Chain A
Amino acid sequence: MAEQIFFYFFAALSIVSAFLAVTRKNPVVSVVWLISCMFSLAVIYVILSAFFLAAVQVIVYAGAILMLFVFVIMMLNLKTGMVGQLRNLGLKFVGLIAALLILRQFYSAIKGAGAMTGLPPRAAAGFGEAAAVGKLLYSQYIYPLELMAVLLLVAIVGALVLAGKEQS
């Protein structure tokens, strides 16, 4: 019961903060709402007994990625006239239509999957904990893991090359 209350509360919180994140004019306010959304998703990951992923979500998303956004917004030093959006009604209409179409597809996919099925009441012991995820990462998924390390290295070097000292 408590699980359900937590789930519905944080699901509502994540939807509201996601909506506010994409509609606010000021990017800094958007980032703060997005952080709130990520934290509520981390709580839902805990409810899904993905404990390690919840920790990674807080550390990597809320801690690193969104801080990067804040730093970049700070660096860009946008003037007040520039953060506002154009009043583009046609675009809003297109967005609405696309959203409705995609929602319709998702609805039929979820509906087509069959009757409401509850999650299994208890996960196995150690499910989703750091030890279990780590064992899987370093045995079965060792090559993707190494490739991911290379990708992150390339991303660091690429970011430095792109945004480093301006050469003129």
Chain B
Amino acid sequence: MIALQSLLTLSAVLFVIGVCGFITRRNVLIMFMSVELMLNAANLAMLAFARHNASMDPQVVAMFVMALAAAEVAVGLAIIVAVFRRRGTVNIDDLRNLKW
């Protein structure tokens, strides 16, 4: 039997790895991948609770999260491509025009 707590711990560890990657990496693509990792960790927690409470609604919400992630990745990668065309870099430290 799998404990609910071990599923939640797995989800928490994956989320924290995502946060850590988002803060420490300077490559926009890898920062994006960390965001995907965090979304997946949230989905995992949602599905664990769905199984635990024998309710299907969190599964539908997880499905919406996946659709949202697809939309986010499409727009985000398009922005990265546009920025790379103009500036020739994907390093976040070189893109600080808006930072004041």
- A interface residues with partner B (beta carbon < 8 Å): 3-4, 7, 11, 14-15, 18-19, 21-23, 27, 30-31, 34, 37-38, 41, 44-45, 47-50, 52-53, 56-57, 60-61, 64-65, 68-69, 72-73, 75-76, 78, 82-83, 85-86, 88, 91-92, 94-96, 98-99, 102-103, 106-107, 110, 113, 116-121, 123-124, 127-128, 132-133, 136-137, 140-141, 144, 148, 151-152, 154-156, 158-163, 166
Taking beta carbons and an 8 Å cutoff, which residues of B are in contact with A? Answer: 1-10, 12-21, 23-27, 29-30, 32-34, 36-37, 40, 43-44, 47-48, 50-52, 54, 56-57, 59-60, 62-64, 66-75, 77-82, 84-85, 89-91, 93
- Are B1 and A119 neighbours in the complex by a CB distance under 8 Å? yes
Most buried by B among A31, A123, A148: A148
Partner of B54, one of A22, A37, A123: A123
| Known contacts A4-B1, A48-B48, A82-B90: A68-B77 contact under CB 8 Å | yes
Nearest neighbor of B24 in chain A, beta-carbon distance: A95
Whose C-beta in chain B lies nearest to the C-beta of A23?
B21
- A selection of 7 A-B contacts at a CB cut-off of 8 Å is A34-B33, A37-B14, A61-B66, A88-B26, A98-B19, A158-B74, A163-B82
CB of A156 within 8 A of CB of B40, answer no
Pair B30/A118 contact, Cβ less than 8 Å: no
Q: Please name all residues of chain B whose beta carbon is closer than 8 Å to the beta carbon of A159 when the two chains form the complex.
A: 74-75, 77-78
Pairwise interchain contact A76-B84, C-beta atoms closer than 8 A: yes
Supply 11 further A-B pairs (C-beta < 8 A) apart from A22-B25, A133-B60.
Answer: A3-B2, A11-B6, A18-B14, A50-B50, A50-B51, A69-B29, A95-B20, A95-B24, A102-B16, A103-B16, A162-B75
